[in-house]
Structure 1
Amino acid sequence: MMHPVPWPRVRRSLIAILRGIHPDEVEVIVETLIDSGFELIEVPLNSPDPFVSIERLCKRFGNDCHIGAGTVLNATDCARVADLGGRLTVSPNVDADVLAMAQARQLVTMPGVFSPTEACLALRCGASALKFFPASVLGPSGIAAQLAVLPKETVVGAVGGVSEKNLAAYRAVGIRVFGLGSSLYRPGMTALEVREAALTSVHAYDGLG
């Protein structure tokens, strides 16, 4: 088995989840996010023309941050993300074929898990990090109980119902990565609105110490 692609060394492990974003707005929104302090950008593949958005982002911002895809459900889509210059794949589930393709293409991976069985399977398949999803159902205590049986070096993220309001509660139990969706971006938001939400999230993250 190949060694997992390591989780990127970034100042803030905050993932901007841009579900529903359109290609014609994606550059101005992501420029705003980067200026606000984000380095991890996810375009879910159930967004309008997601590969167009990913290609545009990789060409313009690929050297400045990690651009990638979310809701990656098959190896073909995973390879396409790599072909466009993406460096990150996030999934709601654990799929061995997706993880194998991502490793072969040297993509950072973050599959979704909900149970110890899924978490251990994801690690065995070479996941870079685990995405506990939906975190709002498990809560900090539910994730903490599972961390007790996982390798100490495991990079663990919380996604789903995560916002600046509960970062501290998740960080307190050992969560290192946070995926921010509707608290950060919703279709129809202006760049100014996204900037305000992004700065609020960055401020909350920086306050964690």
Structure 2
Amino acid sequence: MSVLDQLKDCPIIPVLRKIPYEKSAGIIQALYEGGIRAVEITMDSENAEAMIREALDRFSGKLLVGAGTVLTIADCDRAMDAGAQFLVAPNFNSDVLAYAVEKNVPFIPGVFTPSEMVLADQAGAAMVKLFPASTLGPGFIKDVKGPLGHIDILTTGGITKETVKSYLDAGAVSVGAGSALVRKEFVEREDWPGLSAEVRGWLGG
């Protein structure tokens, strides 16, 4: 199964932005034990490349590890050198997307309008990231999936445990979740069982 097909089977993709490097192994283990099968480690995090490499080594074949906040071709190179299996950006930069497509790495650019969705899809995006999703809401996804049903949508930004189901029900393939899922108190207390339980709540278990 391709990386893209595997991603489509991951309803929740935690976005790990600037998490403490020394706690990253515990966080990712807790997410995995809760049922997560793909994570996004943002490239603006300290030791991002090391976290990507270590997660891939520890969860080889069991967890997809991607890179987020990939804004430049240099970010692409850093992420790919670390082994990132997919790349995500908050924006749509056609040059960066073209570079990733050339390197045969799934790239998910950020979009906000139907026109951007179509342009990104035509340029080879693996799927598109609707960001910030909470500004538009699940109704936008349902409406846009009518004429653009062939474009897979990842939604990120302002989504909570209470609203995640509404985005998936509206037609989103996956939901990216940051601090609303990987909450500060779990990390500070190293409450990994609590984080695993939180994940199960998001997944509806």
TM-score band by shorter chain is: 0.7 to 0.9
| Kept in 2: contact 1:22–1:49 (CA 8 A) | no
What's the CA shift for 1:108? 2.2
Output the TM-score relative to the length of structure 1: 0.86
Change (3 A) 1:81 1:40: same
Q: Which runs of 5+ in 2 are unaligned?
A: none
What's the CA shift for 1:81? 1.3
What's the CA shift for 1:47? 1.6
What's the CA shift for 1:25? 1.5
**Among 161, 167, 170, the residue aligned to 2:167:** 170
Residue aligning to 2:32: 34
Query: Amino acid of the residue matched to residue 35 of structure 2?
Result: G
Distance (whole Å) between structure 2 residues aligned to residue 34 and residue 70 of structure 1: 18
Does residue 156 of structure 1 match 2:146? no
SS in 2 for 1:8: helix
Distance (whole Å) between structure 2 residues aligned to residue 112 and residue 123 of structure 1: 11
Distance (whole Å) between structure 2 residues aligned to residue 11 and residue 192 of structure 1: 28
Task: List aligned pairs for 1:55-134, cutoff 5 A.
Answer: 55-134=53-132
Task: List aligned pairs for 1:3-42, cutoff 5 A.
Answer: 6-8=4-6, 11-42=9-40
* CA RMSD across the alignment: 2.3
Query: Amino acid of the residue matched to residue 145 of structure 1?
Result: D
| Kept in 2: contact 1:19–1:186 (CA 8 A) | no
Query: Amino acid of the residue matched to residue 102 of structure 1?
Result: A
Question: Once structures 1 and 2 are overlaid, which stretch shifts more, 5-14 or 94-103?
Answer: 5-14
| Kept in 1: contact 2:26–2:192 (CA 8 A) | no
Q: What is the number of equivalent residue pairs in this alignment?
A: 203
SS in 1 for 2:182: coil
Q: Which runs of 5+ in 1 are unaligned?
A: none
**Among 138, 141, 148, the residue aligned to 1:140:** 138
What's the CA shift for 1:134? 0.5
What's the CA shift for 1:5? 7.2
> What do residues 146-204 of structure 1 show as CA deviations (whole Å, max 9, x unaligned)?
22231x23211210011221122112221121101111124561575454344334344
> What do residues 72-114 of structure 1 show as CA deviations (whole Å, max 9, x unaligned)?
0012211221221110111001112222222233322221110
> What do residues 37-94 of structure 1 show as CA deviations (whole Å, max 9, x unaligned)?
1111111112222222222222222422111111100122112212211101110011
Output the TM-score relative to the length of structure 2: 0.87
Query: Amino acid of the residue matched to residue 100 of structure 2?
Result: A
| Kept in 2: contact 1:44–1:71 (CA 8 A) | yes
SS in 1 for 2:171: coil
SS in 1 for 2:40: strand
Residue aligning to 1:43: 41
Change (3 A) 1:65 1:74: same
Residue aligning to 2:176: 179
